[in-house]
């Protein structure tokens, strides 16, 4: 899921289509239900899970100064999709007592917990780094309705909800407390004055079903990633033609889209091409960048071939048009686990098992890679071949590094995937044998796979590279290649596809009279036949070539002629004729008659 903010856009068309911001309210009854409780340092073993309130109150006004902490969890899985892009998320609490201006700390909880098991002496762990720890003074709103007055405290938890929605398995909710939990007292000459701060709120159990007696709520606005699909591709007439076109459909995002087409051969924007369609294309691959009104960006690439003739296209893009990440389990030299770390910025595709001799001070991990070309080859052209090339980089192979390329069988998002949040895999597509050198490259025949993608037999969820050895093995081994994020373009992965078919159309009969009808050459060759068979040598054919305005074209040397009985192949490709221009020939037959043929030159 790409979330790129574009601050300035020049010369881009703006189109309103189907997409919108979705608003959801999540509370303690949503999905499987939520839970909350609070703890009290002054009563460290007391369970408050059935209380009608939750609290962040710091109280020094009695004989036993104490502070309180709230623990709160919602089920987000039924209301917010895993790939949602959170536009805003507000945690709203209804205050029943306390102050309004307290600086409050909200931490994402990092482990499972049950409200009835939590007390001051038994609190779940939390995450202590941004964005999973934030400090805010709540936004305060006062309301009055039907004689009831109430106050709400609202906390902006957008980034935290983004994390919790992306990683459902890590959604354990929040710990909420006063940022300053110290109690300060002073003697005013008559008595001790002790400060108080924080607030008390209505809990899930205390929800009375109306606005002024409402339990905790989470108000979330989100969009889904911009989705680009193919509307239509018209292929160029010939490999040298420039009359192909692409049009796309776009959905999701917030419904306002801008477009920029990209030339696959250079990776550069195509000036002025800022609509949902593009024309005047030669065979090749072309990409489109679509940005919604919130700055969310998606990319997709398309192949344009030729209606008549085979073309070979090299798809070797940067990371915009390839989804790439790794999933790693184990730990780094500092003992920090990899299992929940996203690796989408990696410049290497690899399958590796590494274990050092000093486990307490070294690496111990197993990782695999996920890879998907964001490329559509339409089903109105033949795929002759499709070969995926990877540039080798520092294989570790002395003990074997044979690896498998497997199907990925469900949708995944490169900026979300971790070892603990990865898609399911299917059968092996290809097995890559053990490397024979440190930087050995590999080319894998994926023709059948891309034909399946094309006809819909298989959905293109990409593929997974993994070692063909047990994960439990302690032998170091690695198969490793450059990724689309690598700085040197020529070393990035490359898919070479050959598409199209050769067109062998019939021979055209020479005309007795020149008229407006015409044929065309195929790769510069004009094919015609006589109504009768003539046994002749090449030099017996007297051919004159004319432009459309009947100006004769001087031939310094005669064109190449291949003949068989009355069928003739006339090769005009070396005569400097202009692509798509009209010409005609005059043929003087061996017996003195003349015949004509009007044609459009195509090479």
Q: Pick the more confident residue, 603 or 122.
A: 122
Say if residues 131 and 160 touch (Cβ distance below 8 Å): yes
Q: How confident is the model at residue 10 (pLDDT cuts 50, 70, 90)?
A: very low
User: Does pLDDT of 2 surpass 80?
Assistant: no
Q: Are residue 496 and residue 550 in the same domain, yes or no?
A: no
CATH code at 289?
2.60.40.10
The pLDDT tens digits of the residues spanning 298-345 come to: 999 999 999 988 899 999 999 999 999 999 999 998 889 999 999 998
Q: What is residue 110's predicted lDDT score, i.e. its pLDDT? A: 96
Rounded Cα distance between 423 and 99, Å, is: 47
Q: What is residue 562's predicted lDDT score, i.e. its pLDDT? A: 61
Q: What is residue 561's predicted lDDT score, i.e. its pLDDT? A: 64
User: How many structural domains does the chain have?
Assistant: 4
Q: Are residue 535 and residue 580 in the same domain, yes or no?
A: yes
Tell me phi and psi for residue 44, to 5 degrees: -65, -15
Identify whether 313 is part of a domain. Answer: no
Q: Are residue 245 and residue 293 in the same domain, yes or no?
A: yes
Q: How confident is the model at residue 563 (pLDDT cuts 50, 70, 90)?
A: low
Identify whether 301 is part of a domain. Answer: yes
Identify whether 9 is part of a domain. Answer: no
CATH code at 454?
2.60.120
Rounded to a whole number of angstroms, the distance between the first and last alpha carbons of the chain is: 43
Identify whether 383 is part of a domain. Answer: yes
User: DSSP code of 550?
Assistant: S
Of 307, 333, 350, the position where a domain reaches its end is 307
SS3 538: helix
Of 501, 525, 554, the position where a domain reaches its end is 501
Say if residues 216 and 28 touch (Cβ distance below 8 Å): yes
Q: Would the CA dihedral through 394, 400, 405, 406 be positive or negative?
A: negative
CATH code at 533?
2.60.40
Q: Are residue 361 and residue 403 in the same domain, yes or no?
A: yes
What is the pTM assigned to this prediction?
A: 0.80
The helix (run of H) or strand (run of E) holding residue 499 is strand 494-501
Q: Are residue 446 and residue 410 in the same domain, yes or no?
A: yes
Say if residues 392 and 442 touch (Cβ distance below 8 Å): yes
Of 223, 256, 277, the position where a domain reaches its end is 223
Rounded Cα distance between 185 and 195, Å, is: 6
Identify whether 559 is part of a domain. Answer: yes
Q: Are residue 420 and residue 402 in the same domain, yes or no?
A: yes
Full domain range(s) for residue 371 = 320-501
Q: Are residue 74 and residue 47 in the same domain, yes or no?
A: yes
Token pair 């407390």 in the structure block, residue? 177
Q: Are residue 281 and residue 236 in the same domain, yes or no?
A: yes
Q: How confident is the model at residue 504 (pLDDT cuts 50, 70, 90)?
A: low
Q: Are residue 232 and residue 211 in the same domain, yes or no?
A: no
Q: Are residue 291 and residue 217 in the same domain, yes or no?
A: no
Ranking 11-20, 28-37, 112-121, 506-515 by mean pLDDT, the lowest is 11-20
Identify whether 24 is part of a domain. Answer: no
Three-point CA angle 85, 86, 91, nearest 5° = 160
Q: Are residue 302 and residue 435 in the same domain, yes or no?
A: no
Average pLDDT over residues 375-386: 97
SS3 340: coil
Q: Are residue 194 and residue 255 in the same domain, yes or no?
A: no
> Structure tokens of 437?
């050198």
Average pLDDT over residues 482-510: 88
> Structure tokens of 325?
């990440």
Q: Is the backbone peptide bond immediately before 131 cis, with ω within 30 degrees of 0?
A: yes
């Amino acid at each position: 899921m790409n979330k790129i903010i574009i601050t300035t856009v020049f010369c881009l068309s703006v189109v309103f289509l189907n997409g919108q911001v979705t608003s959801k309210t999540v509370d303690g009854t949503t999905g499987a239900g939520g839970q909350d409780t609070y703890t009290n340092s002054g009563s460290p073993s007391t369970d408050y899970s059935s209380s009608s309130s939750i609290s962040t109150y710091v109280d020094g006004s009695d004989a036993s100064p104490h502070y309180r902490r709230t623990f709160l969890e919602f089920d987000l899985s039924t209301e917010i999709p895993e790939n949602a892009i959170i536009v805003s998320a507000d945690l709203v609490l209804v205050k029943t007592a306390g102050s309004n201006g307290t600086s409050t700390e909200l931490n994402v909880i990092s482990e499972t917990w049950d409200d009835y098991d939590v007390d001051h002496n038994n609190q779940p762990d939390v995450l202590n780094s941004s964005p999973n720890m934030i400090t805010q003074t709540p936004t305060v709103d006062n309301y009055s309705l039907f004689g009831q007055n109430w106050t709400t405290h609202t906390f902006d938890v957008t980034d935290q909800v983004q994390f919790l929605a992306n990683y459902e398995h890590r959604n354990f909710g929040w710990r909420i407390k006063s940022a300053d939990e110290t109690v300060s007292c002073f003697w005013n000459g008559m008595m001790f004055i002790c400060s108080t701060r924080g607030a008390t709120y209505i809990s899930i159990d205390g929800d009375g079903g109306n606005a002024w007696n409402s339990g905790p709520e989470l108000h979330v606005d989100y969009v889904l990633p911009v989705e680009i699909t193919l509307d239509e591709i018209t292929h160029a007439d010939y490999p040298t033609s420039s009359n192909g076109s692409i049009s796309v459909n776009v959905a999701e995002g917030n419904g306002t889209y801008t477009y920029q087409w990209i030339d696959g051969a250079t990776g550069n924007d195509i000036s002025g091409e800022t609509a949902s369609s593009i024309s005047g294309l030669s065979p090749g691959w072309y990409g489109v960048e679509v940005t919604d009104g919130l700055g969310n960006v998606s990319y997709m690439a398309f192949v344009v071939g030729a209606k008549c003739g085979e073309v070979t296209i090299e798809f070797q893009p940067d990371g915009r048009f390839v989804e790439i990440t790794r999933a790693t389990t184990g730990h780094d030299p500092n003992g920090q686990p990899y299992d929940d770390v996203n690796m989408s910025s990696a410049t290497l595709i690899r399958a590796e098992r590494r274990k050092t001799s000093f486990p307490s001070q070294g690496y111990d991990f197993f990782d695999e890679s996920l890879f998907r070309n964001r490329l559509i080859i339409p089903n109105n052209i033949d795929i002759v071949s499709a070969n995926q090339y990877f540039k080798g980089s520092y294989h570790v192979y002395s003990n074997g590094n044979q690896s498998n390329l497997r199907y990925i069988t469900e949708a995944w998002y490169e900026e979300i995937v971790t070892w603990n949040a990865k898609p399911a895999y299917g059968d092996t597509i290809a097995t890559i044998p053990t490397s024979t050198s440190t930087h050995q490259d590999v080319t894998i025949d994926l023709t059948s796979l891309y034909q399946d993608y094309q006809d819909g037999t298989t959905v293109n969820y990409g593929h997974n590279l993994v070692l063909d050895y047990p994960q439990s093995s302690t032998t170091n081994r690695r198969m490793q290649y450059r990724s689309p994020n690598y700085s040197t373009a020529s070393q990035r992965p490359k898919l070479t596809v050959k598409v199209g078919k050769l067109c062998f159309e019939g021979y055209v009969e020479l005309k007795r009279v020149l008229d407006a009808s015409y044929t065309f050459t195929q790769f510069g060759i004009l094919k015609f036949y006589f109504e009768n068979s003539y046994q002749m040598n090449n030099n017996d054919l007297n051919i004159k070539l004319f432009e459309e305005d009947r100006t004769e074209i001087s031939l310094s040397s005669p064109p190449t002629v291949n003949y068989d009985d009355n069928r003739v192949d006339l090769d005009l490709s070396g005569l400097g004729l202009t692509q798509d221009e009209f010409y005609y020939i005059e043929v003087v037959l061996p017996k003195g008659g003349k015949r004509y043929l009007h044609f459009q030159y195509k090479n």
